[in-house]
Chains A and B, each alone.
Chain A
Amino acid sequence: MPHKSFRKVILKRSFFVVLTIFGIITVNFLLVNLMPGDPIHNMIPRDPKFNDEIRYQLIDQFHLDAPLWERYLIYMKNTLTLEWGDSYMQDRSVLAIIGVAMSWTLLLVGFSTVITLLLGMFIGAYAAYRRGGAFDLGSSGLLLFFYGMPIFWFAIILQLLFNSYPLGMDWWPQLPLGMYYDVVKYDEFEWNLPVILSVIQHMILPATTLAIGSLAGVTLVMRSSLIDVMTEDYIMTARAKGLTDYEVLRHHALPNGLPPMIALIAMSIAFVIGGAYQVEIIFNYRGIGFVTIKAIEDLDFPILQFVIVVGGVAVVVANFISDIILIYIDPRIKIA
């Protein structure tokens, strides 16, 4: 491994990552601060007890009279030290709310990503292997059809499908449509077998929806990258050596077809973390998306701000990690 230049590339990349994260935080600050209207009025919409005294107190407390750059510094410091303040509506800190929601979203996304990867790699590989065949055309067509679906629409259709007995088939499985497990508060969540089973049961539909929504991307990239590889000379050599088709695929084609997949997976995970909204809303799944939409309804700004930051940072970090992995597994890749 070419160590020196390698380290240099990684250093440069990490510098850019830090820069980009700063940029995201800054953009977020500017958006909130340049929005029309008085922050105090946004915060306390219609409270009859509100008077000038409280107003001045709030101005004092939140440094609202400080110039922009000073507020920016304060904001930066608080963001970086994870002092994200409290939610307006719920009596908990933003960090806790986002943390809990994030863990649920990660669970869902992890589950669906595993499904997507397994299915996608298999379908993609097989389609590439039998390129131009019936399976290839059929799967590509079907996947493009899925790709064109608004995810929320598909979620609704699935909900309908698994909450009724189509054509009177009484053996048709019924799946829960959402709502929650036997939990009163998140903090008092207790993990035991029935709860785990219930969680899994509740996750089947949302995870399937997400998986099918992102399946098209994974499969098509897998397919085209394998097709690229399959035309290389070393595949021909491998065949000439007398290796079986499976061996060629497993040992020669797949490893070389993987790099584009990794970038794609990282990107899709990151986007899904920031954007499983539609599925989470339809299925009432209490992840980041659900929390966000609820916060929008309540105009709960502290949460909204940091949802944006967390979503942005997730994308940047995922990209960074995929870059690093790519450099490790494929030293040919020159990343400028």
Chain B
Amino acid sequence: MSSTTAQNDGTAMPPAPQIDKTDPFPTTETDPYRVEATERCGFIVGFWLLLALLADSHIFGLEATHDLSQVWQDGIWIGVSGLGALVSAFVTIRLMSDREPGKPPRHIPAVAGLVISIAMVVVLTLEETRLMMDLFAMDPGVIWSATRPLWLFPLSILGFSLPMISLILARGGDRRDGVLGVLFSCAPIAMLSIPFLGGFDSAETARWFPMIYGVSGFALILSGVKLRSVLQQVTIAHVNKLSSRVFIVTLLLVGSLIWRKLSPDQTLSSSVDVVWVAPLFVNAVLSALVLAVIFNTPSKDRNRSAGFLLSYSALTLSVYLLCFLTLDFVSGTPLLPRTMWFYPLSLAGTSFVMISVTLLASETQRDKIVGILTAAVPCVATTAVAVAAFLFAVPLTASYSVLSGGTALLVYVGFAVAIFACGMIFGTYRTTQWPVVRERLRLLINRTSVVTRQILKNPMGLIGISILIAFITLAFIGPHIAPYEVDMTRDGTFDRLLPHSPEHWMGTDTFGHDIFSELLYGARTSITVGIVAAIISSVLGAAIGLYSGYAGGWKDEVIMRLNDIVLSIPWLVLMIIIAAFMGSIDLLGIILVIGLTGWSGTARLVRAQVLSLRERQYVEKARAIGSGDLHIIRAHILPNAFPLVFANTILTVAISILSEATLSFLGLRPYGVVTWGTMLSYAQSSNAFTIGLHWWIIAPGLCIVLVVLGFTLLGYALDDVMNPKLRKR
């Protein structure tokens, strides 16, 4: 079962392999020259393709209709196709020359690629000549670019994919690389189908093509880069480690669904898709790894073929669903209603991988059975819900009514628990990882309790924590204790601008919502925006600061100069301008805007800290005994920089809440939700004071002040406690 036996088997095998009848994937020696050629080819090809795509889209803009630039644009593609032809020709000659008798010919795809590339060059050149003629006649009616994305990019990429497949097929006997390589090389071809599927406006969507094909380019690079050597070393331990990450992703996903009140289908926004992309991607990677493990363990276990099938289905499922999401994103509207199949299928992917991991990793029968059962729950439950919805004839296009409210909550919480339990129960995970995790948890709890005690002794900390506990409780229960429901997507049910009265403690606003209820609802959104945005900017800032400080030299210099630029640009204005263009923005958008622009301060702080940390003796010693950079960062630098980052994050939460209020006030309001900032901005724009609704302005403002005060006090207190240098004073 362990990886060492697997590798021993592989290397000890005689040159003429005795083919194991029960092993569907025999391994043979590979020609190192071919392998290297493939890797190099893939890398070069992908690199140039990406470069061409970037040049094309950024310099000229794919929607450019100016005829002059069209010429140059096509010039790029003629070049690319020419390169494709060269690569194909090289591969064809190479493969034909050392073709071994008795083996199937591998060069056929390469020949096809050659033909296509040459055809592209010819067609483009002809078209170009014609276009030049038209250009002199100055006929703006020839907008030839409209249909171009439909065939130009697909065909040119096909010209690359095919020889790559040829190379991968030819590069030796080991099928595992062959399968994965072909899968990766096929990714661009799978994406080719995208333009042909929907009947959408190609001119409008052409802007997104660089993205799609950029991904394809990366896939091509991947098919060439040292995938093989990496994958050969994957063991079940890696998979176990990664699968614990899957739970985190899944939990986040479930949390976000619960947070969105479980109606993602009513307003299908790109943010919902973003939420789904991450788990799908992790799924795909995980299933690919599981596949690699299966290939790496030449055991006669019958679990293996089952595991292979399951992981393979999971991989395909995830990849196709990812393509589908991309397609939806490109076309702007969902092509098919998702309610019935999307969630079941994507969760089925996770289930499949989990089951195959369980099959591979469980030591005892009991672990195996429990693991399979728990892993199957999400898939079965969603399918059941979908089938029920189908049986009870909920129309597919109707807004999603089955999975809403309490039922959905239960279902998804059930998923979370089930998937988590499944992970905990795998055999090896429990025996190898769990003690480590437990020890870490114990340390964490110890340290936290020490810090907490110290903070509670500090008067600032005590006040801060009390304020925060009050408000965070309010954030949790606010919407439930609010006297009236607030749905900002609709007008309220009350008369507008009522003064304060026993029914409406603070009156009603211009849309007929109860202001007091809005205040309670706003607690949740405002605090969420603050916390999530602060986490995003802190993680980003810490990562950049860590890299910059640790790498040093010119990289550090470049990053810090960029940081200076980012720090100097007035983001507020910029955001408002962008908002003026985008029209409305949802809550996630606001969070991203605040989170993605606020990192530079943190980056600076972390960099300064890392600069001093990396000169410490223990880091030097770690380096002397041969620790890698990643290990040093993770084991020595990050833990020492963490207190600083943490205290800074708490302070950033305060700033983020203020930023949200300011953005709302200046016109960048999240759509469909109520925050304290939006309340203030509506109050200001309808002159709340002159019409006597004082509370409309005073209450949200006071809430903001208090929450910000709470976070600031806590931040300072944490700084005091966690930085022993300060404590001396």
Contacts and interface: CB of A to CB of B under 8 A. Distances in A.
Interface in B57-90: 58-60, 66, 68-69, 72
B713 interface: yes
A174 B684 CA distance: 21
A25 B712 CA distance: 35
B577 A296 contact: yes
A31 interface: yes
Contacts of A319: 568
A152, A160, A313: most-surrounded residue (chain B CB, <10 A): A152
Interface stretch (A85-93, A103-111, A194-202, A273-281): A273-281
Interface string B42-69: 0000000000000000111000001011
B260 interface: no
B417 interface: no
Nearest to B569: A312
Contact of A277 (B562, B581, B666, B697): B666
Interface in B373-432: none
B658 A150 contact: yes
B345 interface: no
B124 interface: no
Interface string A44-59: 0000000010000001
A304 interface: yes
A316 B568 contact: yes
A144 B709 contact: yes
A153 interface: yes
A35 B69 contact: no
Nearest to B563: A20
B268 interface: no
Contact of A278 (B69, B459, B666, B729): B666
Given A65-B69, A148-B654, A312 B570 contact: yes
Interface stretch (B190-198, B361-369, B493-501, B700-708): B700-708
B360 interface: no
A312 B566 CA distance: 9
A265 interface: no
B59 A27 contact: no
B476 interface: no
A67 B576 CA distance: 28
Interface string A151-177: 111001101100000000000000000
B593 to A, nearest CB: 14
Contact of A307 (B562, B568, B573, B658): B573
B712 A315 contact: no
A150 B581 CA distance: 25
A227 B580 contact: no
B708 A147 contact: yes
Nearest to B138: A56
A36 B706 CA distance: 40
Contacts of B574: 31, 308
B488 interface: no
Contacts of B706: 148
B320 interface: no
Contact of B207 (A31, A36, A275): A36
Contact of A308 (B69, B567, B569): B569
A228 B725 CA distance: 12
Given A35-B581, A308-B574, A24 B569 contact: yes
B561 A67 contact: no
A24 B698 contact: no
Nearest to B66: A65
Contact of B665 (A23, A65, A275, A278): A278
Nearest to B582: A36
B573 A148 contact: no
Given A152-B684, A278-B665, A27 B709 contact: no
Contacts, number: 136
Interface in A311-327: 311-313, 315-316, 319
A16 interface: yes
Nearest to A299: B580
A296 B579 CA distance: 10
Most central of A150, A296, A304 by chain B CB within 10 Å: A150
A292 B708 CA distance: 28
Overall SS of chain A's interface = helix
A156 B729 contact: no
B662 interface: yes
A315 B709 contact: no
B680 interface: yes
A231 interface: yes
Interface residues of B, number: 49
A296 B580 contact: yes
A311 B705 CA distance: 27
A221 to B, nearest CB: 13
Nearest to B464: A144
Contacts of A65: 66, 68-69
Contact of B573 (A227, A231, A278, A292): A292
A150 B661 contact: yes
B567 A315 contact: yes
B666 A293 contact: yes
A68 interface: yes
A231 B58 contact: no
Nearest to B708: A148
Interface in B684-712: 684, 689, 694, 697-698, 701, 704-709, 712
Contact of B704 (A150, A157, A228, A307): A150
Nearest to B700: A153
A153 B58 CA distance: 42
Contacts of B173: none
A153 B680 contact: yes
Interface in A184-224: none
Nearest to A315: B568
A35 B577 CA distance: 11
A145 interface: yes
A59 B69 CA distance: 14
Contacts of B697: 153, 156-157
B565 A24 contact: yes
Contacts of A228: 729
Interface in A244-280: 274-275, 277-278
B610 to A, nearest CB: 15
A43 interface: no
Given A150-B658, A277-B666, A227 B689 contact: no
Of A144, A148, A278, A299, most buried by chain B (CB within 10 Å of CB) is: A148
Interface in A1-51: 16, 19-20, 23-24, 27-28, 31, 34-37
Contacts of A335: none
Interface in B558-596: 561-562, 564-565, 567-570, 572-574, 576-577, 580-581
Contacts of A157: 697-698, 701
A149 interface: yes
Contacts of B58: 34, 68
B120 to A, nearest CB: 24
Given A20-B561, A316-B564, A275 B570 contact: yes
B117 to A, nearest CB: 27
Contacts of B665: 150, 152, 278
A144 B706 CA distance: 10
Given A148-B709, A151-B662, A293-B667, 16 more contacts: A65-B66, A65-B68, A68-B59, A144-B712, A148-B706, A149-B704, A152-B662, A152-B680, A156-B689, A156-B697, A156-B701, A277-B666, A296-B577, A308-B574, A315-B567, A315-B568
26 contacts: A23-B565, A27-B569, A36-B581, A52-B140, A59-B66, A65-B68, A68-B58, A144-B712, A147-B712, A148-B705, A151-B662, A153-B697, A153-B704, A153-B705, A157-B697, A157-B701, A274-B573, A292-B573, A293-B576, A304-B577, A307-B573, A308-B573, A308-B574, A311-B568, A312-B568, A313-B568
Interface of A: 16, 19-20, 23-24, 27-28, 31, 34-37, 52, 59, 65, 67-69, 137, 144-145, 147-153, 156-157, 159-160, 227-228, 231, 274-275, 277-278, 281-282, 292-293, 296, 299, 304, 307-308, 311-313, 315-316, 319
